[in-house]
Amino acid sequence: MSQEQSDIVEAAVNAVRRAIVDLPEDDQGRAALTALRDGGFLDLASTAGALEAMLVAEAISREGVLAPVGARLLVGDACGLGDDVLVVGLIEGRSSLVRYGADADVFIGVDGDNAFVAQREQATVTPLSEGVGTPVARVRINDSTPLPAEQSAAVARRWRIAMAAEAAGAMAGAIALTVPYVSQRMAFGRALGSFQAVQHRLARAEVFAQGTSWLTRHAAWADGDDYLAAAAATYACMAAIQVYENTHQVTGGIGITTEHGLVRHTRRLVGLQRELGGANAHARRVTAARQAARTPSAASGHVA
C-alpha cells in the first residue's frame, strides 16, 4: 500500500476500534458504520477509489468486527446512498436470508441481471435468533426501485468484491489467531507448530488467504471488470473452505470455543461463501465474462 492508503486504513480501523469497545455483537454494525460516517469514510470509493474502500473493508474484517462495511462502502456507493444511510442489507432475489437484515436501513438486491433498492418500510423483516457468524434476518421485498442496467451490473460486481474483501480479512484473522496457538501448544515434548504436517496446513491456508486478498485488490483496482470481480469471488469461496478446515484442524477442540475467538472469523466464512449464489454462480460469471470478451466485434468482425 502507498503511505496514503496505509494512513486511510489505519484511521478507519482505529475509529471503529474506539466505537465498538465493550459493545455486544448485535450493536457493533451500526456503531462501526457511525464511526466511519463521522470520519468521512462512507464515500471513500467515490473520493479515493474502490481499492481504498476494499482495503478498509478487509482490514476491519480482519479485526473481527461484525459490521457490513464492504456492503456500505462498496455496494452502497454504487447506488449513490447518502450519509443518512448507514446499514445496508444485501439480498439475492426478492426473499432471502440477509446478513445484518434486522438492522438495515436500506436493502440492495440482485435478481438475475437486475438490481433494485428497497427502503426499510418496503420490506418485511423477520430477525432470526441464530445467524451464520453474523446476525441474520429473513427479508421479503414488497416494493422497490429498479436500477438501470449499468448500475445493476456495478452492484453485482461490487457485491462480489465486498464479499471477497471480508472473506480475505476473516481468513487473515483466523490465521493470525492460529499461528500463536500452535507455537505455544506443546505436544510430545515440542511445540505443535514445529511438526511439518501442521506447518504444511498453515502454509496452505496462508497461500489461499493471500491469494484472495490480492485477487480482490486487483478487482477493486480495476473497478468495472466483471471477470476480475467474479474471479476474486470464486477464489474466495474455494479459499474459505481451505482456511476453515486447516485452522480448525490444527487448533482442535479449543478452536470451536467462543473464548478462543477462531470461530468469530471462520463462521463468517461459512456464510460468505454462499452469498450471491456461491462459488458455482461466481464461476459461471467468470465464464460468461470471458466469453463476452471473445465475441466478434461488430465493427471489425474480429475476435476482441
- What domain count does the chain have? 1
Residue 99 lies in a domain: no
Residue 223 lies in a domain: yes
Tell me the pLDDT tens digit for each residue of 142-196.
999 999 999 999 999 999 999 999 999 999 999 999 999 999 988 888 998 899 9
Query: Which of 185 and 297 is assigned the larger pLDDT?
Result: 185
Q: Diameter of the chain by CA atoms?
A: 72
Tell me the pLDDT tens digit for each residue of 29-64.
999 999 999 999 999 999 999 999 999 999 999 999
Query: What residue numbers bound the domain in which 189 lies?
Result: 151-293
Residue 162 lies in a domain: yes
What whole-number percentage of the chain has pLDDT above 90? Answer: 87
Please state at what angle helix 196-221 crosses helix 50-62, rounded to 10 degrees: 150
Backbone angles phi, psi at 96, to 5 degrees: -170, 170
Domain CATH code at residue 226 = 1.20.140.10
Residue 5 lies in a domain: no
Residue 85 lies in a domain: no
Residue 215 lies in a domain: yes
Asked if the model's pLDDT at residue 82 lies above 70, the reply is yes
Residue 256 lies in a domain: yes
Residues 6+ apart with CB under 8 A from 108: 71, 75, 76, 79, 88, 89, 90, 91, 115, 116, 117, 118, 155
Residue 188 lies in a domain: yes
